[in-house]
Structure 1
Amino acid sequence: MALRLCPSFSHPLIASSVSVGNTSRIRRCSIRNCILEPNESRKLVLEVKEKLEKEYPSLPLGRNGRDDDDMILWFLKDRRFSVEEAVSKLSKAIKWRQEFGVSELSEENVKAVAQTGKAYVHDFPDVDGRPVLVVVGSKHVPLEFDPSDDEKLCVFLLEKALSRLPTGKEQIIGIVDLRGFRTENADLKFLTFLVKFCSAESVRKEYFTPETLPASFGD
């Protein structure tokens, strides 16, 4: 048995679904897909930038910083284009990234945990073009590593998957392989998402082609 995390992970952080908006400024709005007219979009992004600069001047700049247009627009969508709510959530997210040291994570400093094979970013996207994060439940032993090491691996792999998002895509998909899962592998701390349970056969047929299927899900 495998399970697909649902809703899918979304850029730039794991987040809830975007609610359907109801405002004249929105040209088209559906779950996770709210679009403004270009001029309105740029105006709101600028408003958020200015508020962040005024209220949180110590936050870093650059990619995933307070002046990152793409990140700001994503949070605006997530907050149904509320500037105040976007600023509040975005400032917290940037602070968390800074305190956790996300930008300092590398293959080398998560190497020991990664070598267990408990989680990895698959080489190929799913049939919808989404990057795929695979977690192998039977290889996760909570007492084997310090919880902080597992957290670093989790964040590093999410960042790696998100970095592979093609233009126009905002979701990655997480697949947790529960085959061979035992009580000693249980760690509910890392399973805080809604899930869709499915068989390995469903994973093969619904999310991949024979050429892109993860090796562990082969016949």
Structure 2
Amino acid sequence: MELRSIRNPLRHLPVLSNCSYQIKSSQIRTFSVRSCRLDVSESHKLELVLEVKEKLEKDYRSLPLGKNGRDDDDMILWFLKDRKFSVEDAVERLNKAIKWRQEFRVSELSQDSVKGIAETGKAYVHDFLDVNSRPVLIMDASKHLPAVHDAAENEKLCVFLIEKALSTLPEGSEEILGIFDLRGFGRENTDLDFITFLFDIFYYYYPKRLGQVLFVEAPFIFKPIWLLAKPLLKSYSSLVRFCSVETVRKEYFTEATVPAKFRDRNVTLEF
């Protein structure tokens, strides 16, 4: 990806803390921020982060500050990457995302606040990462009952678990793995509204955080539902893989880390 050149890459340096730089032969060679050495292209990204921050302060001053706020460098950089480093596009997306977090009260979600719906066992974050060092969000479709469970509570649980999974990202990892266990899926479990909600929040508010989605042991009844849902999922439909339990077990986990529901019952683990 080609980024526009910087006429004066040191223009914003005075506002940075713990930042040192070297000048040699009238050119910028390297500089470090928080002990991380960056080249010129990285310094350009940093300048774009500051530019987004200034625009948010000017045009959307009412947005909150702090983590996941309009001055959160990591969040700003992530949305810049998603928007191919377009400042205007990133500002627009960030404004919507931060407002959504306020309205949805994401910061107030907790284990206690979703306890009732979580006890159904319909969804949870797995205790181990997959073989690609991704946190794993598992959904048991047969336990999802839209006629019984409150839709708002389903959405709260969904967002809480996404936040929980992202909080466990190891150094160098950026995405999570989603697994839908479709064994036992029936008409009473069908919920296009929830599927749309799930993929929409990933698309708009957690861009590029969903690495892959596994639909495990999809029954025949699920096929027409997928045909209806696929156009609603936008580009995320390309992340979906239909597979078997055996594939999950052999390609995504080790014997020690495979989720209990996908474990080979003939294998006894020793810890």
| Fold agreement, TM-score > 0.5 | yes
TM-score normalised by the chain length of structure 1: 0.83
- What is the RMSD computed on CA atoms of the aligned residues? 1.5
SS in 2 for 1:54: helix
Give the Cα–Cα distance (whole angstroms) in 1 for the partners of residues 69 and 174 of structure 2. 18
1:96 corresponds to which letter in structure 2? W
Shift of 1:167: 2.0
Give the Cα–Cα distance (whole angstroms) in 2 for the partners of residues 95 and 137 of structure 1. 30
Where do 1:113-152 residues align within 5 Å? 113-152=117-156
Q: Deviations over 1:31-57 (max 9, x none)?
A: xxxx98221111010000000011111
Give the Cα–Cα distance (whole angstroms) in 1 for the partners of residues 251 and 68 of structure 2. 33
Which residue in 2 is equivalent to 1:42?
Answer: 46
- Structure 1 pair 123/23, CA: closer, same or farther in 2 (3 Å)? same
Higher RCO, Cα 8 Å, sep 6+: 1
Shift of 1:168: 2.0
2:190 corresponds to which letter in structure 1? A
Give the Cα–Cα distance (whole angstroms) in 1 for the partners of residues 167 and 148 of structure 2. 29
Alignment counterpart, residue 91 of structure 1, candidates 84, 95, 113: 95
Give the Cα–Cα distance (whole angstroms) in 1 for the partners of residues 3 and 41 of structure 2. 12
Alignment counterpart, residue 205 of structure 1, candidates 250, 253, 259: 250
Identity %: 65
Contiguous gaps of at least 5 residues in structure 1? 1-20, 26-34
Which residue in 2 is equivalent to 1:71?
Answer: 75
SS in 2 for 1:89: helix
Give the Cα–Cα distance (whole angstroms) in 1 for the partners of residues 194 and 256 of structure 2. 30
Which residue in 1 is equivalent to 2:204?
Answer: none
Which residue in 1 is equivalent to 2:187?
Answer: 183
- Structure 1 pair 93/126, CA: closer, same or farther in 2 (3 Å)? same
TM-score normalised by the chain length of structure 2: 0.68
Q: Are 1:109 and 2:125 counterparts? A: no
Give the Cα–Cα distance (whole angstroms) in 2 for the partners of residues 77 and 92 of structure 1. 16
Shift of 1:23: 3.9
Larger radius of gyration, structure 1 or 2? 2
- Structure 1 pair 156/173, CA: closer, same or farther in 2 (3 Å)? same
Which residue in 2 is equivalent to 1:173?
Answer: 177
Contiguous gaps of at least 5 residues in structure 2? 6-38, 197-232, 265-271
